[in-house]
Amino acid sequence: MPTSAPTLAQFSWSAFPWNGTGELRHQALAHLGKWRWRSLFQVGVWPWFGSTESMDEQMPWGRGKSVSRPGGSEPAGPPVDPGGRALPFYHLPVLLQEVLDVLQPGPDKLFFDGTLGGGGHTEALLQHGARVVAMDQDDEALAHAGARLKPYEDRFCALRGNFRNFAQVLGEAGVGLFDGMLIDIGVSSRHLDAPERGFSFAREGPLDMRMDTTSPLTAADIVNTYPQEEIERILREYGEEPQARRIARAIVHDRASRPFTTTLQLAGMIERVCPKHGRRHPATLTFQALRIETNQEIAALREFLTAAPHWLKPGGRLAVITFHSIEDRVVKQAFQALSTPFLDRPEWPSPRPNPDCLTRLLSRKPVEASPAELELNPRARSARLRAVERLPA
Ligand SMILES: C[S@@+](CC[C@H](N)C(=O)[O-])C[C@H]1O[C@@H](n2cnc3c(N)ncnc32)[C@H](O)[C@@H]1O
């Protein structure tokens, strides 16, 4: 540990514990508070020039081809690193134009992107002249997006952390209110495409599923240690898996003789007890449920939705993209509660003002991907965008 407040140059990527609680972090944040924006942007640009060698070589645009990115303006073609080399494919941003329509980026506007991922949404905001503070809990995402967004280093900063804690991190760093905030939740294409991360039931890998590889709970821990009733609840609640009881029972039976360690071991067992009908793999919903539990995704979403409206300027907008009905329901209910000006109860003589009403709904129905986007990116088929706008003070 340094004995005096470190300068920014003294930090190294691995030693910068954004989500830690130690003295170093405290000193770093104190330093940031002093330097405010200038420092924050400096911090944001230096740590993420790590190796991208481990990244998948898959590139849907084709190496070196010049093809417009969906919804984006300039520059055309795949993202490049600071040396001008094409970066490996990471993730295609979904509903990109729709997000821009909602957030209306422009020069001197400040945005928060809580799910930086491959940096697609953030890059589009930056291309419109905005400043962006971004966050991700995945080191690989930070490395990729940091390299991609280096040209915007004077207006872009990325922090490692879970968006459920964003208010604490940004509050300590002295960052002010936003013109717009975005979270595009769930996993990136990179997560699904990387067998070693353990998200895919179609590729052999460790049964891991952590987006933050430093967090203590893996999917293997859940299937090997949770009681049967708890596994069943998770599969029912987070997967809406009709065969939740049967799968939970089979997991507990099988793990007694051989603990689950790999993705294909679990997927194969599920296929045995629930033979395939139709196009969907029988392990799809179980893997979704385990991923949500491993990363505590619903709790993180709820906490973010509670805090985020307080970080918007009047007229500022909050946009959330979800990928399944469980998350979409949480967002819909939270936005409705935030956007209901009056509350009524049978025992009250008349409706009363809602003290928690901070926003107005920008649309009742979620925005979905256009046929053109679906043709380009089938993973956008379940994406739903909802948004609210902060009311005047
Ligand atoms: C769907 S991708 C976002 C893609 C991004 N919008 C883009 O344009 O490339 C989701 C990203 O959010 C991150 N993520 C998911 N939940 C998170 C959380 N609670 N806190 C921080 N990052 C999170 C994941 O690690 C992943 O990189």
Q: Report yes or no on 56 lying in a domain.
A: yes
Query: Residues 159-175: what's their mean pLDDT?
Result: 89
pLDDT digits (tens, 9 = 90+) for 8-62: 222 222 223 333 333 333 333 333 333 333 334 333 322 222 222 222 212 222 2
Report the percent of the chain where pLDDT is more than 70. 79
Enclosing domain of residue 369:
37-186+299-390
User: Using an 8 Å Cβ cutoff, are 251 and 207 in contact?
Assistant: no
Q: From residue 161, give the alpha-carbon distance in Å to each of 85, 204, 213.
A: 28, 28, 12
Q: From residue 11, give the alpha-carbon distance in Å to each of 153, 175, 216.
A: 17, 20, 25
Last residue of a domain, one of 234, 262, 294: 294
Atom 20 of ligand 1 has which residue's CA nearest to it? 162
Asked if 201 and 282 sit in the same domain, the reply is: yes
Last residue of a domain, one of 294, 313, 348: 294
pLDDT digits (tens, 9 = 90+) for 185-199: 989 988 998 999 999
Task: Say if residue 283's pLDDT is above 60.
Answer: yes
CA 20 – ligand 1 centroid, Å:
19
Residue labelled with tokens 């590729």 = 203
Task: Give the least confident one: 169-173, 194-198, 225-229, 253-257.
Answer: 169-173
Omega before 75 within 30 of 0, i.e. cis: yes
CA 109 – ligand 1 centroid, Å:
22
- Considering the chain, what is the average pLDDT of its residues? 82
Task: Give the least confident one: 166-175, 277-286, 313-322.
Answer: 166-175
Q: Which DSSP string corresponds to 220-250?
A: HHHHHHS-HHHHHHHHHHHH--TTHHHHHHH
Q: Report yes or no on 347 lying in a domain.
A: yes
CA 393 – ligand 1 centroid, Å:
31
pLDDT digits (tens, 9 = 90+) for 70-109: 333 333 456 766 677 777 778 899 999 999 999 999 998 9
Whole-number pLDDT of residue 277 = 84
CA 323 – ligand 1 centroid, Å:
12
- Maximum distance among all alpha carbons in the chain? 69
The rounded Cα 123 to chain-centroid distance in angstroms is 15
Whole-number pLDDT of residue 88 = 72
| Burial readout 236-265 (b: 16 or more C-beta within 10 A, e: otherwise) | bebbebebbeebbebbbebbeeeebebbbb
Asked if 196 and 308 sit in the same domain, the reply is: no
SS3 for 212? Answer: coil
Asked if 279 and 307 sit in the same domain, the reply is: no
Last residue of a domain, one of 245, 263, 294: 294
- Residues in contact with ligand 1 by the CB-under-6-Å rule are 91, 93, 114-115, 117-121, 135-138, 141, 162-164, 184-186, 188, 211, 300
Edge-to-edge, what's the strand order for the sheet holding 178-184? 156-160, 131-136, 110-113, 178-184, 312-322, 384-390, 359-361
Q: What is the CA angle 210-181-164, rounded to 5?
A: 35
Which residue, among 183, 205, 180, has the nearest Cα to 192 in the 3D structure? 205
